[in-house]
Structure 1
Amino acid sequence: MPEDSADRQVARWARELDPYDPVKEAIVMRLAILGRHLAQTRRETLDSDGLRHGEFKMLLMLRRQGPPYTTSPSRLAELVGLTRGALSARLGPLEQAGLLTRTTDATDRRRVHVQLTEAGHAALRGHLDSEGRGEDALLSVLDDDERHALAGLLRKLVVGVESGPGAA
């Protein structure tokens, strides 16, 4: 197996620090490298698709609601972790682009519905397809057995984090 930047960094640190676990450091370093790579790839994909992260998140949350892909502004704000004022500022450009609509409830004019449009569905599908190609490229060096093994090991780590002290 060829050497990577984590191997070189771990070798340098091993010479400098006595109580140093090179395997642990290599794992943590590789997870960080992959996290940065995925984040950069996602940013580039969003840029090429003409979406900002917050806009993509809005479309994704509306899609996750299931048919008819609509929810109230307060629920959407809660899902994306924004105040209602910040949400309103984010919805404007998406509405102007035709990716979602805001409509008043027919039976209660105080209620507003935010709904994903067909153009919003298409933009989301296009972005997810682009993002999927980047993920496929990343994972292309692994065969199916390796992918399953890695998925299982990562699940074990995530379960440990999610069920450990302070987990919600």
Structure 2
Amino acid sequence: MSESKDSGAVDHVDRLRRQWARELPDLDTEPMTILGRAFRLSNLVRPSIEATFAGFGLDRGEFDVIATLRRSGPPYRLMPTEMYASLMISSGGLTHRLDRLEKAGLIRREKSPRDGRSVLVALTEAGVALAEEAFRTDMASESRFLQALDAKERETLAGLLRKLIIGIENELAGGEEQNSG
């Protein structure tokens, strides 16, 4: 098992791998060097991200809804089916979030001009402003966590993570196709 090449520093994952190497010396724990660290990274930054959104009176799921609407561009309206597919949640989970956001005055439900039976979810002016302010604050907060890497390292890491995610998504999509037929 190799340790970090940067100044001999040892992190949580290195310690876990050492323990597993002692207990199961025949097992290759190399996947932990990437996936274990990604999981650890997510767990380390999640409280800060959640605190940022809480400072705006939102939970992470509520922010995801208003951010999805905001980044859709003017007029900041989407059909619920477009939203829950993008957010990867159930329609029931979306409905619960929409109810809370509507009560807070951040979204409104409108009849679709194309089909009176359909509903569109639209950001209110307050929702547009809050989504933007919360996102700007979140990005400033998250950028602090990346200061250990220089610009080139961040670019390299982002590219490698993109490649890994695309590979995993393709693997999972291929597995779904094989399982469905």
8 Å CA contact 2:70, 2:132 repeated in 1: no
Counterpart of 1:131?
A: 138
SS at 1:102 equivalent: strand
Question: Which residue among 75, 91, 94 is the counterpart of 2:98?
Answer: 91
Q: Is 1:67 aligned to residue 69 of structure 2?
A: no
Q: Displacement of 1:150 after TM fit?
A: 0.9
Counterpart of 1:155?
A: 162
Counterpart of 1:43?
A: 50
Q: Which residue identity lines up with residue 82 of structure 1 in the other structure?
A: S
How many pairs does the alignment contain?
Answer: 167
Query: In the TM superposition, what are the counterparts of 1:9-48 in structure 2 within 5 Å?
Result: 9-48=16-55
Where in structure 1 are there 5+ consecutive unaligned residues?
none
Q: Is 1:5 aligned to residue 12 of structure 2?
A: yes
> How has the CA–CA distance of structure 1 residues 64 and 11 changed in structure 2, closer, same or farther, with 3 Å as cutoff?
same
Q: Quote the Cα distance in structure 2 between the aligned partners of 1:35 and 1:18.
A: 28
Q: Quote the Cα distance in structure 2 between the aligned partners of 1:74 and 1:24.
A: 36
Q: Larger deviation: 33-42 or 117-126?
A: 33-42
Counterpart of 1:57?
A: 64
Q: Deviations over 1:65-102 (max 9, x none)?
A: 3211112345445544333x654443233223221222
SS at 2:120 equivalent: strand
* TM-score (normalizing by structure 1): 0.81
8 Å CA contact 2:111, 2:120 repeated in 1: yes
* TM-score (normalizing by structure 2): 0.76
Instruction: Point out 4+ residue stretches in structure 1 off by more than 6 angstroms.
Output: none
